[in-house]
């Protein structure tokens, strides 16, 4: 299959799959249960049950906790109480519903959003190796898993679609490690609410990942908004030129240069203060 005329270069559907996609496809076919530990930059983990993906986590993208707290959907005190009461027993999603903090649909959407965004972030930043741990390895399970799980093939199609979109960002030189600058400060009504929030976090130091964590939004939608802001000329990926120095508050009066005298013109000092007689 070849790329369509509107598909960015390198985004053909037939390109070789990465290590992450190959590993997930293989484990899905094997109906694997356990955890895949993915070494990358920064890598992450994927939890599977009978070939279905139930959770994914990476430092490159916000997880369920950041998506809820940073977005302001749940207060930190409420999350802490629910976490302490239910997380050790693995029933945090039920506790969130029982406390009225989220509905059942809200929990499902949250879990799915975190999984898809984490897999996209890992595929985008790159995975070098994959280590398999069976369910016998023990350890705590995911905080907010997808129940009963996501089909691997359907999930991989969505990840591939997002990677093809990301190829267009690379044409713009927009990467996960970019540090965009604001170059246009326009009235609020010119930029819609979501992109206005993203624009408000652009300061020349934050990366797309930093902005995603700050806002409690997924990496993919944040980078999509940054790409639109970049194309519309609101931000730049090159450092903004420094403004000229401000003039001094008060004019500075130049100091007079010292008068240079010849040695013969200097007054002479005499012993006992008396000048010699002629």
Burial class (CB in 10 A: 0-12, 13-18, 19+), 119: buried
- Is residue 245, in this structure, part of any structural domain at all? no
- Alpha helix ranges (H) inside the chain: 19-29, 64-69, 76-86, 92-98, 104-125, 152-171, 193-201, 208-215, 219-231
- Residue 67 sits in the same domain as residue 116: yes
Asked whether residue 129 is domain-assigned, the answer is yes
Residue bearing the bigger pLDDT, 2 or 178 = 178
**Domain range spanning residue 210?**
181-236
At 133-180, the pLDDT tens digits run: 876 555 678 999 999 999 999 999 999 999 999 999 999 999 999 999
- Do 61 and 85 reside in the same domain of the chain? yes
Same domain, 160 and 76: yes
Q: Considering the domain boundaries, does residue 44 fall inside one? A: yes
- Assigned domain for 8 exists: no
| pLDDT > 70: percent of the chain | 76
Rounded CA separation 77/257 (Å): 68
pTM above 0.75, yes or no: yes
- The answer to whether residues 147 and 224 belong to one domain is no
What is the total count of domains within the chain?
2
Residues 26, 143: Cα–Cα separation, whole Å: 25
140 part of a folded domain: yes
Regarding whether 192 and 104 lie in a shared domain, the answer is no
136 and 201: one domain? no
Averaged over 195-218, what is the pLDDT?
Answer: 95
Q: Where is the domain boundary, 115, 146, 171?
A: 171
């Amino acid at each position: 299959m070849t790329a369509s005329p509107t598909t960015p270069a390198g985004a053909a559907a037939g390109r070789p799959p990465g290590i992450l996609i190959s590993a997930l496809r293989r484990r899905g076919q094997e109906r694997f249960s356990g955890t895949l530990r993915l070494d990358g930059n920064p890598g992450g983990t994927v939890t599977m049950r009978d070939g279905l993906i139930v959770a994914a986590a990476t430092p490159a993208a916000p997880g369920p906790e950041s998506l809820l707290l940073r977005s302001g959907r749940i207060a930190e005190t409420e999350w802490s109480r629910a976490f302490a009461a239910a997380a050790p027993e693995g029933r945090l999603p039920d506790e969130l519903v029982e406390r009225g903090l989220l509905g059942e649909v809200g929990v499902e959407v949250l879990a799915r959003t975190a999984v898809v965004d984490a897999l996209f972030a890992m595929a985008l930043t790159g995975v070098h190796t994959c280590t398999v741990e069976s369910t016998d390895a023990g350890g705590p399970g995911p905080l907010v898993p997808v129940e009963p799980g996501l089909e691997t093939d359907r999930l991989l199609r969505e990840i591939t679609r997002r990677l093809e979109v990301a190829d267009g960002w690379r044409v713009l030189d927009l990467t996960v490690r970019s540090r965009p600058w604001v170059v246009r400060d326009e009235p609020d009504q010119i930029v819609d609410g979501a992109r206005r929030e993203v624009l408000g976090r652009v300061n020349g130091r934050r990366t797309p990942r930093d902005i995603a964590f700050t806002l409690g939004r997924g990496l993919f939608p944040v980078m999509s908004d940054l790409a639109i802001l970049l194309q519309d000329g609101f931000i730049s990926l090159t450092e903004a030129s420094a403004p000229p120095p401000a003039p001094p508050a008060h004019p500075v009066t130049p100091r007079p240069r010292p008068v240079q005298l010849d040695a013969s013109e200097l007054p002479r000092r005499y012993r006992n203060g008396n000048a010699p007689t002629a």
